[in-house]
Structure 1
């Protein structure tokens, strides 16, 4: 038992060093813009850059619409599958895994071929149409995480009993989903939402090929032309991602604990 405990600690230390040492080195390099001393000059330049503000604001806006679209699609679908169609769950789970298998570049080239200027639906002919396609593409990329978060939340509540009780009181399907099911799985939905936010903020391929002013292409452009600012942006991106993960961990403590209740 002692030998096993020692090896466990060694594994943890090696794994932590593998992850944190490059991040610490990046942070240290980002502070060395002023020769001979540490400073926050790189961060001041980044935060003062109008392109940073514009691209980050654009990505946040797209992330919000992506989260809304994902919730509108996933929550009713996962609810209906658990309530009426449990036999189709393996098929839906396979479909939701496809974005992890199909590269984003394949999806975006499909968009370009289907919705280009010569197609019957030329969404790419306008900025708003391109933003719509980008939002749909991001919702597709986030589908595996959003669906599993919501499905896990639905497992913690008695969906059938809640639905029957609401129907007895005269509630319609929209009321049941919006005022009964959604509040009960809100923690799970927020977990999926923060994962979606992290994906959208760091995504590069779709935004670049669709020529949208997103944060991912801005990161790549700065990295190709500067030295210290890319390191600062990398630290900021890590901080955003870890902030989302921390919020998920905090929210998970408030999730229902009755995962084994019958449905």
Structure 2
């Protein structure tokens, strides 16, 4: 038993080193812009760059819109499937997994082909239309994570009992979803929202091929033309991603403890 435990700790330590050492090297390199001393010059240069500010702000806005649209699509769908259409649940889960197996480059080329200026719905003919197309593309990419987060939240509540009680009191479907179901799965929705935001901030393929001024293409541009700034940007992106992961853990601690589950 002691030998197995020692081997487990050694393997854990090796795994940690495998992931931590490259991060340490990246951080150390990002601090060497000023020769001979460690400094934050690369970070100041990046943060003062107007393109960084504009692309990051653009991705934040697109990320928030993606979260809102995703909630409007996923919460009613997951609720209705669990309440009235449980037989369709395997098929819905299969559809939500498709973004994981279909490359984003295939999807975005399909978008360009379907919504170009010669089509019946020329979204790519204007900046606003292309932004809308990008938002829905991000909703598709985040669908596996958002749907599973919401579905997990719905498992912790008695959906049928809550719905019947609300209907007895005269509530309509919109009121039931907005004022009863959504507040009860809010923490699960927030978990999916943080994952969605992390995906949007680092996504490159769709934004680049749709020619949108997003943060992902800016990361690629800096990486191809600078030395120390890309490492600083990578550290910043890493911190943002892990901040989202930490927020998921924080909100999960406040999840209501309940033993009631829907059928």
TM-score bin (small chain): over 0.9
1:235 and 2:230 equivalent?
no
1:89 and 2:89 equivalent?
yes
Partner of 1:101: 101
State the Cα distance separating 1:171 from its structure 2 match: 0.3
- Distance in 1, Cα, partners of 2:260 & 2:91: 23
Runs (4+) off by over 6 Å: none
- Distance in 2, Cα, partners of 1:260 & 1:241: 33
Partner of 2:192: 192
- Distance in 1, Cα, partners of 2:80 & 2:8: 43
Give the 5 Å matches for 1:92-131. 92-131=92-131
* Cα distance change of structure 1 residues 173 and 262 upon mapping to structure 2, 3 Å threshold: closer
State the Cα distance separating 1:257 from its structure 2 match: 2.7
- Secondary structure of 1:112's partner? helix
State the Cα distance separating 1:122 from its structure 2 match: 0.6
State the Cα distance separating 1:261 from its structure 2 match: 3.0
Give the 5 Å matches for 1:39-58. 39-58=39-58
State the Cα distance separating 1:256 from its structure 2 match: 2.4
1:44-92 CA-to-partner distances (Å, cap 9, x unmatched) read 0000000000000000000000000100000000000110111111000
The normalised TM-score by structure 1 is: 0.98
State the Cα distance separating 1:210 from its structure 2 match: 0.3
Give the 5 Å matches for 1:209-248. 209-248=209-248
Give the 5 Å matches for 1:60-75. 60-75=60-75
Question: Contact 2:67–2:196 (CA<8 Å) still a contact in 1?
Answer: yes
Question: Contact 1:158–1:261 (CA<8 Å) still a contact in 2?
Answer: yes
Question: Contact 1:155–1:259 (CA<8 Å) still a contact in 2?
Answer: no
- Secondary structure of 2:39's partner? coil
Question: Contact 2:207–2:213 (CA<8 Å) still a contact in 1?
Answer: yes
- Secondary structure of 1:261's partner? coil
The normalised TM-score by structure 2 is: 0.98
